[in-house]
Amino acid sequence: MSGVNLKKKQTMSVMLRRLIWVILVPMSIVIAILIGILCWYALQYRTVLANVTAASAFNQDFKNVVDLKMFYYVSDSAYSDGKPVDEVESARELAEKLLENTTQKKSMEAISSVKNLCVTLEQRMDEIDDAMSYDEGMIQLENNIYILTDLIQTYMYDYLYYESVHLSSIQEELSEQLQYLILGTVALFLMIILMLVIYTSNITEQITNPITRLASRVEDITAGDFETKEPVDAAVLEIQQLSDGFENMVGKLNSLIQENKKAERRKRRAELELLQAQINPHFLYNTLDTIIWLIEADKKSESIKMVSALSDFFRFCLSRGKDIISLEEEQKHVLSYLSIQKTRYQDRMDYEVHIPESLYDYAIPKLTLQPLVENSIYHGIKLQREKGVIRVDAIDIGDKIELTVRDNGAGMTEERLQEMRNAIDTGEKIGFGLRTVHKRMQLLFGDEYGLSIISTEGVGTTITAVIPKVKQEEKGIINV
């Protein structure tokens, strides 16, 4: 685990502090929302109450006072002290003030009417001065002043009624909303508690799950698994550092084990070289003889093709000294070998090779398939008169790759098949090439891998090789 990745991890103290914030912040938000809603309703209630209180200051005897003063004024009574301008002006100013703070439509219409009627009343009061006679003045008083004062007082009472109704509705709504708020608050707190439980469980899993996996890793090592694995991916910095250090320690132990395995591989390499020495001279002589025959028969193109195939065959055999190559390289090696044998045996044999491109990059011991194909030719196809077919396939079976070499050759008797199987398992000198391939696969990958043979006399033989689905750089595969 690199230092950069470690910086992205969180310490346990940071996670616990975050848990505290997760508890405090939602609670604070809920409380702030409740206070805000209550303040909003309180502001509305206070505004309407202020309007009602201000409207109550309206002179309840407004009509009587104004009408009487105007009567005295028109009749030129000794009791007259002028037109009631102050009363009307006070009513208009009150209407303007209430209009600024009123929000309900009907209330606004009523108080607007009061304001407009006050303006009109002032105009009508001024028009009385233009009356030509006492009778005309009294007519204007009856038709204009008395009606206007009556309307002003009526609309003011309407305003008080509408605002009182609004005030009552706010009280009822507030009472209802308080019930909803209480229920909503309970529901919200339950949701917050649920979220806290989920978040707390998540933090708990982030701490306990890596520890559990780390404990399982310890059990695997105790059981003998010294293979280096990816460190446990933990969100907690302390656990991540512990896992990283643990895997580093296992890696060093594994290096010591691999050194011992290298020594064992060197012992086996002599056996592999013996296999190559046995195959190469005999195969080379026969191939060169075939090339000479092609040249003598004036088959230039066939001879060139065979020389090219022979060159490819030995180039893949060398593989720059690598013992582990890709499946793609092994396929090319087998194809060059089969091309040479096809030229030698002409119409007596044919072949098919089917290895999916998706498996090309996976690792395989060099000279795994070629000995199996050679066995099919010399112990199957060559021993029958009919045309033989060799088919090489590779199948992805999850974490393994299954390679099969099938032929429709002479096959083996049950006794011979059992001898070959025993030779592969016990290391007897029967079937030298197959035995060496089998042991080398087990040496590199483990006892669960290797060869298996199925054969029926007169029908053909199928040899299956199972290898792990790994690439050359994985699982400590080293070329020796």
Average pLDDT on 401-424 reads: 89
Q: How many CA atoms lie within 13 A of 217 on its CB side?
A: 22
Residue 277 pLDDT grade (very low, low, confident, very high; cuts 50, 70, 90): very low
Neighbours of 177 (CB within 10 A): 16
pLDDT, tens digit, for every residue of 206-264? 777 777 877 777 777 777 776 767 776 766 667 776 777 767 777 777 777 777 777 56
Q: Which long-range contacts (CB under 8 A, 24 or more apart) does 100-109 make?
A: 101/47, 101/50, 101/51, 102/51, 102/163, 103/47, 104/162, 104/163, 104/166, 106/158, 106/162, 107/51, 107/159, 107/162, 107/163, 107/166
Burial class (CB in 10 A: 0-12, 13-18, 19+), 318: exposed
Cα-based torsion angle of the residue sequence 286, 292, 296, 302 in order, rounded to the nearest 10 degrees: 80
pLDDT value at 432 more than 90: no
| pLDDT tens profile 108-153 | 898 899 889 988 888 888 888 777 788 888 888 888 888 888 898 8
Spacing of C-alpha 440 from chain mean position? 43
The sign of the dihedral angle between the CA atoms of 293, 299, 300, 303 is negative
Q: Average pLDDT in the 159-171 region?
A: 80
Which span out of 15-29, 130-144, 418-432, 463-477 was modeled with the highest average pLDDT? 130-144
SS (H, E, C) 322-340: CCEEEHHHHHHHHHHHHHH
Cα gap 158→150, rounded to integer Å: 12
The dihedral region occupied by 10, where left means phi > 0, alpha psi between -120 and 50, and beta the remainder, is beta
SS3 state at 240: helix
Q: Is CATH 1.20.120 correct for 3-207?
A: yes
Amino acid residing at 247: E
| Closest of 371, 351, 366 to residue 279, by C-alpha | 371
Higher pLDDT, 6 or 451: 451
The whole-angstrom separation of Cα 310 and Cα 294 is 14
Query: DSSP 3-state helix, strand, coil percentages of the chain (rounded to 5)?
Result: 70, 10, 20
Q: Tell me what the mean pLDDT of segment 338-348 comes to.
A: 83
Q: Where are the domains of the chain?
A: 3-207, 268-468
Element housing 121 (H / E)? helix 105-128
Identify the band that residue 428 occupies on the pLDDT scale cut at 50, 70 and 90. Answer: low
Residue 308: pLDDT band by 50, 70, 90 thresholds?
confident
Q: What DSSP element (H or E) covers 242?
A: helix 237-296
CA dihedral angle for residue 425, residue 426, residue 428, residue 433, rounded to 10 degrees = 30
Q: What percent of the chain has pLDDT over 90?
A: 10
In this prediction, residue 23 carries a pLDDT of: 73
Is 106 buried (19+), middle (13-18) or exposed (0-12) by CB count in 10 A? middle
- Give the model's confidence band at 291: pLDDT under 50 very low, under 70 low, under 90 confident, else very high: confident
Q: d(Cα 124, Cα 118) in Å, to the nearest integer? A: 10
**Angstrom distance (rounded) from CA 276 to CA 413:** 28
Which two three-digit tokens encode residue 157?
């009472």
What pTM did the predictor assign? 0.45
Could you give the C-alpha distances from 126 to 44, 74, 441, in angstroms and in order? 40, 11, 122
Place of tokens 């003030």: 97
Domain 268-468 has CATH 3.30.420.10: no
